[in-house]
Structure 1
Amino acid sequence: MASKFRLALIQLYVEKFRPNNLARASRLIAQAASNGAAVVVLPEFFTCWCDPKYFIENKEQLDGPTNRMLSQAARDNRVFLFGGTFPEAIPDSEMLYNTCQIFNPRGDLVGMFRKLHLFDVDLGPRMKITESEMMVPGKSLTVVDTGFCRTGFGVCVDLRYPELARLYAKRGVDLMTYMGGFSLTTGPHHLQVLQRARAIDNQIYVANVGPASNHDAPYVTYGHSAVADPWGRIIGETGSDEDIVYADIDLDLIADTRTRLPVDHMRRDDLFETRDLTEEQT
């Protein structure tokens, strides 16, 4: 396994219409690959505006237009592509999944993740969100071995749960990838703090990529996609506009950090533990 590779986070400016977003994402994937990225990540809900009306208008099956674009883009550019998320239609139901598909450089689908935690909050005027009214949570963790690293996945509010990142770390992931459209209310105060904490907790790389801010959209996302290293340092970041964040990942830093600060060796497993119930049920 190579110890170094380039990661690219595409902070896409999401428009109202899916065909425009797919075309825009395809162009930026090619741009990232031309700049040496071996792994490319798209944001949460990159196919449509983050709003129930647009979720319903743009819902699709797993083999729909988003799947086809992502597969072709991964193949054409010879990259591992973590395909952001889209509203996945559930057969015989009005409910939806928030779904990410992962493709290898041959364009093969090698993994899929559905958002685990639903965002049901009341944060004041214009910020009452109840995802559980139309979304169904996923039921499993997803780990993909790219050949560059083992990667675990989360979406948006999944970042708030240290237990989830801990379970992934126990499965041996080197990189946690969160696709999250944090809001202008929570993003400035919570996003980077949570990201750095998950990196420090588990001594792994943590990436978060959200859509660029679009003030014409019903829900305005914060942007500020970034990558934190195992020491908790931000090694790549951007602001609120459309951009590509590049980070050169050095997996040797994980071992070095754990040698210098052996948190797991000092852990009091006799007093507490984080159990992976999904593995116990299989």
Structure 2
Amino acid sequence: MNTSSPDAVHPRFLKKPVFLVGGLKIALVQLSVGPDKAKNVEAAVREIHKAKEMGAQLVALPECFNAPYGTKYFSEYAEEVPGGGTSAALSAAAAAARVCVVGGSLPERCGPRLYNTCTVWGPAGELLAKHRKVHLFDIDIPDKITFRESDVLSPGDQITTFEYGGIKIGLGICYDLRFPEMAQIMADQGCSLLVYPGAFNMTTGPRHWEVLARARASDLQLWVALVSPARAAAADYVAWGHSLLVDPWGQPAATLGHEPDTLLADIDLNTVEEVRSQIPVRRQKRNDIYEIVHKTNKCQTD
């Protein structure tokens, strides 16, 4: 049995032997999202309970699961976090089902600012984490898609992780996936799973959705989960769908199509240990030449 030195910050890696029995059953819920916020939230709560019945311990929802995705909708659908109705519904659902809920994302109003925000709720209904999308989706692909979240939204300024079921989990939202430095910091902090609620579109989805997930997973030797809304061809913004889970070898473990559906799979910690011991890039990094530094923002305005 391999007893090599630990290669991550999280205390789990300080224990011997390296290979541990453990894991987490995760459900990625690919919801159909329409213009009626109440119906969207009701559908999410219903699917949380269904996932629990299938054995899920952690249930993840997609980006903007309670509202249509688009700059013209953010202000209309925005609410306070955690004081708004959507947060209350997720908290109650997590407590009733006794699961951890990664609440996709919703438009958050905080004073004069709007954010794209993910909330995480524990099995007692407690707020475990809140992540505001750090990298705003501003792109221009001629004759394909032009979108500017920064016209309406403010960016978050924090790296977000939380622990559940003995696994440290990192959070990002959609465009955050494109920035490996952010993922590297979460991995350095001991994460074995990164969850990205996202809504890639019909241009970037087929090109980059799976590629980026596999890159983050293989580079950092951890699990990566992407959770998309279902595709709605009549929507102003058409999501790619294809929610997926990628293992620490960089291989898709499970994936969905573009219809409403739920992906249920096991996060196996043994796979993380296996990859990191057999290909020990974390111990081989040349920190004497290069290093990614996490600068904590100590000045909070809200």
Task: After TM superposition, give the deviation of residue 278 of structure 1 in Å.
Answer: 1.6
Say whether 1:83 aligns with 2:103. Answer: yes
- Aligned identity (percent) is 40
Equivalenced residues, count: 280
Give the match's secondary structure for 1:178. Answer: strand
Q: Over residues 188-229 of structure 1, what are the superposed CA-to-partner deviations in whole Å (9 max), with x where a residue is unaligned?
A: 010100001100011000001011101121100001100111
Aligned to 1:260: 278
State the partner residue of 1:278: 296
What is the aligned partner in structure 2 of residue 71 from structure 1? 91
Q: Please identify, of 126-135 and 241-250, the stretch whose mean Cα deviation from structure 2 is larger.
A: 126-135
Aligned-pair CA distance for 1:128: 1.1
SS of 1:192's equivalent in the other structure is helix
Deviations 1:211-251 (A, max 9, x none): 11011211000011001111111111101111101111111
| Cα offset, 1:117, TM superposition | 0.1
Larger displacement relative to structure 2 (117-126 or 249-258) = 117-126
CA distance in 2, matches of 1:217, 1:70: 25
* 1:210 correspondence with 2:222: no
Q: TM-score, normalised by structure 2?
A: 0.90
Tell me how far apart the structure 2 counterparts of residues 206 and 96 of structure 1 sit (CA, whole Å).
27
Question: What does residue 112 of structure 1 align with?
Answer: 130
Q: After superposition, what is the alpha-carbon deviation per residue over 1:126-177, rounded to whole angstroms, capped at 9, x for unaligned?
A: 6111111111000101111112310000001110011111000000011000
Q: Which residue of 2 aligns with 1:237?
A: 255
Find the counterpart in structure 2 of residue 4 from structure 1. 23
Moved runs in structure 1, 4+ residues, more than 6 A? Answer: 279-282
Q: Distance in 1 between matches of 2:221 and 2:232?
A: 33
Distance 1:18 1:280, change over 3 A: closer
Q: Give distance in 2, aligned partners of 1:280 and 1:132.
A: 23
SS of 2:287's equivalent? Answer: coil
SS at match of 1:208: strand
Partner of 2:15: none
**Distance in 2, Cα, partners of 1:102 & 1:178:** 12
Per the alignment, in what secondary structure is the counterpart of residue 98 of structure 1?
strand
For residues 120 and 279 of structure 1, the distance between their equivalents in structure 2, rounded to whole angstroms, comes to 23
1:30 alignment partner in structure 2: 49
Cα pair 2:74 2:152 within 8 Å, conserved: no
SS of 1:277's equivalent in the other structure is: coil
CA 1:261–1:237: 2 relative to 1, 3 Å: same
Q: TM-score, normalised by structure 1?
A: 0.96
SS at match of 1:81: strand
Q: Decide which of 132, 138, 145 is 2:156's aligned counterpart.
A: 138
| Matched residue, 2:75 | 56
Identify unmatched segments of 5+ residues in structure 2.
1-11, 13-20
Which runs of no fewer than 5 residues in structure 1 stay unpaired?
Answer: none
